[in-house]
Structure 1
């Protein structure tokens, strides 16, 4: 084989690689254009965004604030009672009484902070 044949074979391989890369780039660009057009069609079918006058507004009294308070625990029957097991619909609603002590309960210093964690507990 002559040197010209090797140069021609190497050049034709390079040309094929360039053509394949160009075709792959065109394919990817076409897929991106199709995806954008598809997204625009889907967006056109959605309901329109609300206008500024349709947006929610603050009440005249101002923003609503969260109210925190400590509640008294609701009494539950002990397991040793002669009564039958309570069903969920027999439990009291969440209308418990407001507690006398409104200070927030905190972990004691030196306690483990978890049940059965092996800490010093309530000292």
Structure 2
């Protein structure tokens, strides 16, 4: 019984010490930035997002079936800019993200 009480006191003391250590560490850290310290937009305004249609590069084939290609033989990026930059559009009345692609009327 005495061992359980002493163990509880040791654990409680360790928790009090850990909380006080956390409070002291938090006081040494700098506070949150003031309103005038936040970054501002550049004169030119926000950066604009660009998008482009990409297509996969061809994967090189090994000369022999038993040969394995190493990463430097595979090349750089896995895709390249497509020559055709028009986005594909859905035909009206067909396709879509729900169901079988029907008109939606039953």
Structure label with greater radius of gyration: 1
Structure having the higher strand fraction is 2
Structure having the higher helix fraction is 1
Q: TM-score, normalised by structure 2?
A: 0.45
Q: TM-score, normalised by structure 1?
A: 0.41
Q: Which has the higher contact order (CA 8 A, sep 6+)?
A: 2
